[in-house]
Amino acid sequence: MSEVKTKVVFHDPENPNSGYTIENPYATVQKINTDLVKAGFVEIPVFQLLHILNYLYVGAKRDSKKSFFTSKATRALNQWFETKQTYKFWRKNLKPLKDHYCPDL
């Protein structure tokens, strides 16, 4: 049985400016082991996780919209993990995940 995965298809592989299509963006998930939920783990689609990490780390560098980015990331993470934690908590505890997926942030 084949597992459905997220796939990036380039319109013209020889031309890097031709564009691309992301097929099944929510298919590939990241499993995060945690004590915050009864199941002991949370599976977050990688596509959405990248957005959350972007808001959590890049948003802090944007003074004009910092509160928007940080509150959006905190709200999404609290919803996924069924808890109520602060922005600083998530930023500290998700650093290894950020370093894995987005080392340049």
Q: How confident is the model at residue 1 (pLDDT cuts 50, 70, 90)?
A: very low
Tokens of 64: 């004009």
pLDDT of 2 reads 43
Q: Is 31 left (phi over 0), alpha (psi -120 to 50) or beta?
A: beta
pLDDT above 70 (res 17):
yes
Average pLDDT over residues 36-61: 86
CB atoms under 10 Å from CB of 56, counted, come to 25
Per the prediction, the chain carries an average pLDDT of: 84
The H or E element spanning position 92 is: helix 87-93
Cα gap 83→38, rounded to integer Å: 11
Ranges of each domain in the chain: 28-101
